[in-house]
Structure formats: structure tokens, C-alpha cells
Structure 1
Amino acid sequence: MFKKTDKPYIIAGPCSVESEQQIDYIATALAKDGNTNLLRGGIWKPRTRPNTFEGVGSVGLAWLVAAGKKAKLPTATEVANAKHVEEALKAGIDVLWIGARTTVNPFSVQEIADAIQGTNIPIMIKNPITPDLDLWVGAIERIQGAGVTDIAAIHRGFSSYEKTKYRNVPNWGIPVGLMQAFPGLPIICDPSHIGGTRELILPISQKAMDMNMTGLMVEVHHEPNKALSDAQQQVTPANFKNILEKIIIRELTPNTGENSILENLRGKIDEIDADLLKNLIKRFEVIDAIGQFKKDNNMTILQVDRWSEILRTRTKFGLNNGLSEKFVEGILKSIHKESVARQTKILNKTKEIE
């Protein structure tokens, strides 16, 4: 179902179905533009804290289905337990998705898997709120175990204590890891939840397309500022159309005549990577020698002044040669972590009893 052709697969609709008139208006507007493949709408909206709008509940299922039929669009909603699955299927919802708060809990995912056993309804699975690839993989495997073959993943970002411009940091490496774990699995980006503001939807969407993701899931509301949930990250149908028109869709492979150029450049990368690894091996050989020296002279592993000097001088060198401070620090800290582990092993190695 979730196929990317010459255009991205588009899922759009309000964060929450608020009324029969609201979802009908939005669905009609989206259908008119002709960009949307699937109409989304939240029915049950578990919020972080109680006494806030938590969705209209089951009554909204009929509104969503009716709006979808009128607009000739299939419909999707989020389910968090077996009761949600039962009611959504009974109402005629076409696609179900599992939210980030549910994906993080294997018990809940298994409950949903048991509830959809034998239905083969298309399922979308959002990443867990924590940056844990194994939880995401496990959720997909549980749904596969229920016999469902039409599955897509949704990248909606990850919670973080760090203050960033994102509501949920994208951690692009995690969906890349999912692509490697499940080759060919459709992965749809949710820029609304990653960004948390409508201004970030376009740049995040472009990044997702540049990462060769299958499509986008965007929250669209006819009056975003009056939305009962997630008002800051929703856009009007007109603004959504404008965003899609600005996105550049790039090719996976170059023109046939230019492929040799790319292969030549990749060959150079392969050679450089080999040299990098050889130099790392040499570096760790020296690290091991230093570890043995520290053991022989009863020295501590961590030398803070030396480590601070390495960070300062190498980062400065990287900055002067076009590398970002964050990138250089990341490499150095990874090397330092491995160095400490190797020296720890050397210092604590005891002679075998003869």
C-alpha cells in the first residue's frame, strides 16, 4: 500500500478529529489538491497529563470514515490497545498505526498484534519515544508475527532532555539502521512531531526525501491555531500544498552516462576508509603500549590534562579544515572510550597460574 512512485506517499489530516464538520472540510480540501494518499485523524489521544483534550473517542470513527468515503481517500487512525483495534475495524478504518508511547511497550504491541491476527490490515508503526532501534525492530517483528505483510514504519523523532530546536530530535541514524534491518520496508517521516512547529515541516520533509524515505505524514487542520491538540505543528491545506510544491525529489541513482563518475568517487572513498582503519589500528597499538607502561609504573588510566589537550588541539585542527566541532568531538570521544576500555583490560590482566 505504502508505495513511493515518482512522488512521495502522503498521509495528511488533523492531529485529532474534533467534529464531523471539521474532518469533512479537511478531507475535502486535501482531496481537491490531489496530493494525499491516506487521510489520518486521531480518535483517542492519550496526553502526557490528564484533564486536557484526549480525543472525541469512538464517536469520531464514523465521522472519519464518512469523510474519507466522500473524499475518496482511505483512512487511518492510531490504536493503543485491543479495544481500539476492535472498534476501528468495526467502523471500517482502512489503516491502523501504533503510536510512539505504545511502541515503547512490548506488552501493548503484543496485545495489538493478537487483536489483528488474521486480518492483514495495513499497519504503520511509529518509532518508540526513546532512541532504541531494538524496540522499533521488535514491534515490527511482533506485527509480522501476527501475519500482517503490509507494514510501514513512521519516523517521528525521539524524546530528549537536551534543549534543541526540535520537539523530538530526529536522530536520523536510527531510521537508517531500520532500513538496514528491513530492506525495502517503507519508512514515512512525520515532520510535524519531529519539529513541533509548522516552520520546521518543510526543512525536515526535504531532509526525509533526501534520505530516500517513502513519504510524509503531516498534520493538517483548517484552523490550526484553534486546534484542540498540537496547534503549533499543524498547517492549513493551502500551506500544506505549498510545502509539497517546494520539496525537491531527487533520484536514487544518476543518469546512466554519469554512473561511472559516481563509481570512481566511491572507489576513492573505499581507499580512504581503508587508510583510516589502518591508522586507527596503528593508534590502538600505541594505546596498548601506553596501557602496558601505565601498568608497569602503577599509573591511572585517565590523565585529564592530556585528554583535555587532545580535545582542544584536534578540535581546533578540525575547525581550521572545515570540520564541525561536534563531529570532531564525537570521533575523539569514541576513540577515547575504546582507548580507556583497552587500557583497563591491560591494567587488570593478571598472570595465569602455571
Structure 2
Amino acid sequence: MKLNLNIQPLSTWLNTGKEPLVIAGPCSAETEDQLVATAHLLAKTGKVSALRAGIWKPRTRPGEFEGIGSIGLEWLKRAKEETGLPTAIEVATGKHVEEALKSGVDILWVGARSTVNPFTVQEIADALQGVDVPVMVKNPVNPDLSLWIGALERINRAGITKLAAIHRGFSSFGNTTFRNEPMWDLAISLKTHAPELPIINDPSHITGNRDLIGYVAQKAFDLDMQGVMIESHIDPAVAWTDAKQQVTPAALADIIDNITLRKPDVKSAEVSDKLAELRAKIDKIDDLVIQKVAERMNIAEQIGQYKKDNDITILQVNRWEEILQKRIPYANALKLSAEFTEKLLELVHAESIRRQAEILNAGQEQPAEKLSHV
């Protein structure tokens, strides 16, 4: 389902002539000297489109540094005057919006902790009524596409047409490579719902590790995202917040220099014909995959009928373990990852269980439910 968003192209409100689009600056504005000096170094690289800085910082636990506050807006104004860089900050309340606009901030963004709360988003949207300012909306902390879309819609309905999304990854339980799992499929799904919506990637918050920023940024551009927001500090080692994910302006320039930009459209007839040929092959294979899955489901229904006739339970845990033990090594040999294979098998197996449950409980009214990997 396509979203009905009334938005302007990114080039109409952040057209700096620089490619790729880079929004950069310190996680937190700490002191006036720190912010202004960082801004000058970023501007000197010639690669930064806008200067970002955290003025109000919503922290996970009380007692942590929660931003310098309104005084930082004056520092940001000075940095803008001296470098010519447009400025961008996060706002979390209606009052933040009012103060930011009064101080001449060029771009606002709604943070992940705010996006997760429709009441907060609506308060921000109400404060934006009648204002012509670019607004970017980060994905919510948890992987909920509807919340992300809802926040974008609320801001858009307030009359904001200079709108973009920021993909900063999602919280997940346990230790992983990333601070926030990218879950690229959710960002892709958002793009499918709103093809005209610009999406900016935030590799700093996804990785939590400066060494991985270039890798994630490259993947974001490969997925046709329109830009990146990267945290940069004049001396990351002494940063007051998120030191591990910030880079120096010089390191930022190196990251951008090593980005390969690829075109989303195909202009060469020869390349277009080759892609069409390969996609035709994929279409044929997809048809076969669907056909084979349908055949498998027919057999699963026969098994369901047999279980019903012989009073056998639907779930056979040993059988599920047997499937995984046999199929994952086979898939690995065919260069398919274990994670992908297990997810695919879970989907197929869950559908088999659902169909068998319908057969065993035919004639009985059943509540709607989702079956997990059984």
C-alpha cells in the first residue's frame, strides 16, 4: 500500500551541490569552542552538506549528560555564520521546536525515543503547524514500521512537506555486531510504501563503532538511500557522549572518499537488456519456488488429515529439529546462510502447522493467532 504523503524532493530543501549528501557534527554540543572548531574542520573538508549537533539529549538513565540546553543554540548560530553550513538538531517537545526555530535552526529531526510515542510526535507536529521547515523522522527504537509511518504522517499532516526519514537501526536483545540492528528490510519496506520519501542512513547509531561506519554507509548508498548522518567530533576520545561512534572530521572525509556511488537507473540499452534477461530467469525460478511450496502444503494437509484420523498431535518437536539438522548443512553447502535458511524454514513450517490446525479443528470456531516457529 502506497502512502499518500505530500512531500518535496530533497534537492529542493537541501541542495548543496555536494555528493553524496552528508550531515555531520558532534553527538553533543559540549562547549562553544568544541562545536565551532568541529564545524570549521567539517566545512574545510568540502564534503559536508549540513552541521548536526545534539542540544537536548534524551538519555537512557538519569544522571547522564542530557545536553547543554538552549545556550547551545547560540553556539550553533555562530557556527553557521562562520562556516555557512545549514544546521540540524533533534527536537523532543513543542518547546524545543519553538526555541530551535527562533534561533534560526535550518533542519529539525524527531529522535527514535520520540518516534515511539505518538503523543510526543503529535505535540511536535502541533508546534510545527504553519511552519515551513525541513523535518526528518528517525525510526522508532523498536522494529515497528507502523510507528515510523505514523510519525511521518503526523508531521506531514501538520503541513511539513520538506520531509525525510532517518534509518538509525533498531534495538535488539543480546550482544550483536551492531549497537542497533540495521534490519534493512524495514527501511526497504518504508521505501516501498513511499518511493518519493528520502531516507537518510545513520551509520553512527547503527554501528556504535567508528570502524564499521564506512561499511554501513556504503550499504546504505547501495540500497539507494539519499544520504548519511555521521557523528563527528574534533577529539572523539574525550567526547561527553557516544565517544566510540564518533570520528574526526579528517576520518569522516576519508570515509566519504571511499564511498562508491551507484546509479539507481539504467541508461545503457545493453545493460538494460542484460538485467531484463537475468530478471526473467529469476521470475521463472520464483514461479517454481511458489509451485514447490504449494506442493509441500498439499502434502502437509494430507499429514494433517492423517494426524486427525489417528489422534496425533500437530506439533512434533523432534521432526522440527530433524528438519533443521538436515537442511541447514545442505543450505550452507549451496552458499545460503544458516540464518536465512532457518527463517525460511520457520515460515514454511509455521504455515504447514497452521493448515494442519485448520484440518484438526474443522468445524470449531478458532480465535485468530500467529504461530511462531513450531
TM-score interval, normalised by the smaller of the two chains: over 0.9
Q: Which of residues 216, 226, 233 is equivalent to 2:228?
A: 216
Q: Which of residues 330, 341, 344 is equivalent to 2:354?
A: 341
- Structure 1 unaligned blocks of 5 or more: none
| Matched residue, 2:23 | 11
Q: Secondary structure at the match of 1:68?
A: helix
Question: How far 1:258 sits from its partner (Å)?
Answer: 1.7
Question: How far 1:253 sits from its partner (Å)?
Answer: 3.2
Question: How far 1:351 sits from its partner (Å)?
Answer: 7.8
1:231, 1:257 → 2: CA distance?
A: 48
| Matched residue, 1:303 | 316
C-alpha contact 1:157 1:193 (8 A) present in aligned 2: yes
Identity of aligned residues (%): 52
Question: How far 1:324 sits from its partner (Å)?
Answer: 1.3
| Matched residue, 1:164 | 176
Q: Secondary structure at the match of 1:216?
A: strand
Superposed CA RMSD in Å reads 1.4
- The 4+ residue runs of structure 1 with deviation greater than 4 A are none
Q: Is 1:183–2:195 an aligned residue pair?
A: yes
Q: For 2:285, give the aligned amino acid.
A: I
User: How far does the alpha carbon of each residue in 1:44-78 deviate from its partner, in whole angstroms, 9 at most, with x for none?
Assistant: 00111111111100010011122012111110100
Question: How far 1:349 sits from its partner (Å)?
Answer: 1.0
1:228, 1:307 → 2: CA distance?
A: 49
Q: Is 1:284–2:297 an aligned residue pair?
A: yes
1:296, 1:257 → 2: CA distance?
A: 59
Q: Quickly say closer, same or farther: Cα 1:281–1:64, change in 2 above 3 A.
A: same
C-alpha contact 1:17 1:43 (8 A) present in aligned 2: yes
1:158, 1:351 → 2: CA distance?
A: 40
C-alpha contact 2:18 2:48 (8 A) present in aligned 1: no
Question: How far 1:224 sits from its partner (Å)?
Answer: 0.3
| Matched residue, 2:335 | 322
Q: Quickly say closer, same or farther: Cα 1:123–1:351, change in 2 above 3 A.
A: closer
Q: Which of residues 69, 84, 89 is equivalent to 1:77?
A: 89
| Matched residue, 1:270 | 283
1:78, 1:27 → 2: CA distance?
A: 17
1:351, 1:26 → 2: CA distance?
A: 68
Q: Is 1:207–2:219 an aligned residue pair?
A: yes
User: How far does the alpha carbon of each residue in 1:243-273 deviate from its partner, in whole angstroms, 9 at most, with x for none?
Assistant: 1111111122343322101100001101110
Question: How far 1:2 sits from its partner (Å)?
Answer: 3.1
2:320, 2:27 → 1: CA distance?
A: 48
Tell me the TM-score normalized by structure 2: 0.92
Q: Secondary structure at the match of 2:10?
A: coil
| Matched residue, 2:208 | 196
1:118, 1:351 → 2: CA distance?
A: 55
1:325, 1:76 → 2: CA distance?
A: 41
| Matched residue, 1:240 | 252
| Matched residue, 1:42 | 54
| Matched residue, 2:41 | 29
C-alpha contact 1:2 1:9 (8 A) present in aligned 2: no
- Structure 2 unaligned blocks of 5 or more: 1-8, 366-374
Tell me the TM-score normalized by structure 1: 0.97
Aligned pair count reads 352
Q: Quickly say closer, same or farther: Cα 1:20–1:6, change in 2 above 3 A.
A: closer
